[in-house]
Amino acid sequence: MSIQAGEQMPSGSFGVMTETGPGAMSTDDLFSGKKVVLVSVPGAFTPTCSMNHLPGFVDQADALLAKGVDTIACMAVNDVFVMHAWGKDRGVGEKVVMLADGNGDYARALGLELDGSGFGMGMRGQRFAIVVDDGVATHVAVEQPGEFEVSKAESILEHL
């Protein structure tokens, strides 16, 4: 069963790139005492993710922050090096924290994994956005296959 609004986010950790190389960020570090928009994409450098989903959150970062969001984070089942390179390629700067869910453990803990084997992608995370307030999911927007509506930045802004 997938995470629902009103439920505590599962514990876990993500790979992040630091000034000294690969590091880790726990869910406590990410969510504790903060309002966070956690965005998940099926894969870095894939068309919808690169051209629309991530750039939408970069473009709307100021509007999201103005609505009380402390952190915008983007996760994908990719390694930390790919997520870092993708963030640089898309010009996220300090606007979006790029999180590597390398083995898909966090997507699985959320109940939001996606079998992309038919596309040669293996297990991935579904396309979604979750608003998290101090570790509790307050809004969960999961896209139907092939869709891109409920998890885009403009839709999340309407729910803040």
pLDDT tens sequence across 91-107: 999 999 999 999 999 99
Ordered structural domains, the chain, with CATH: 34-158 (3.40.30.10)
Query: What are the residues whose beta carbons fall under 8 Å from the beta carbon of 20, sequence distance 6 or more?
Result: none
Q: Is 49 noted as a catalytic residue in this protein?
A: yes
Q: CB of 153 within 8 A of CB of 66?
A: no
Strand partners, 35: 133
Confidence class of residue 122 from pLDDT cuts 50, 70 and 90?
Answer: low
Residue tagged active-site, from 39, 49, 92, 140: 49
Q: What's 143's DSSP letter? A: P
Give mean pLDDT, residues 112-140. Answer: 88
Identity of the amino acid at 92: V
Predicted TM-score (pTM) of the model is: 0.94
Q: Could you give the residue ranges of the DSSP H alpha helices within 37-104?
A: 47-48, 54-59, 61-66, 80-89
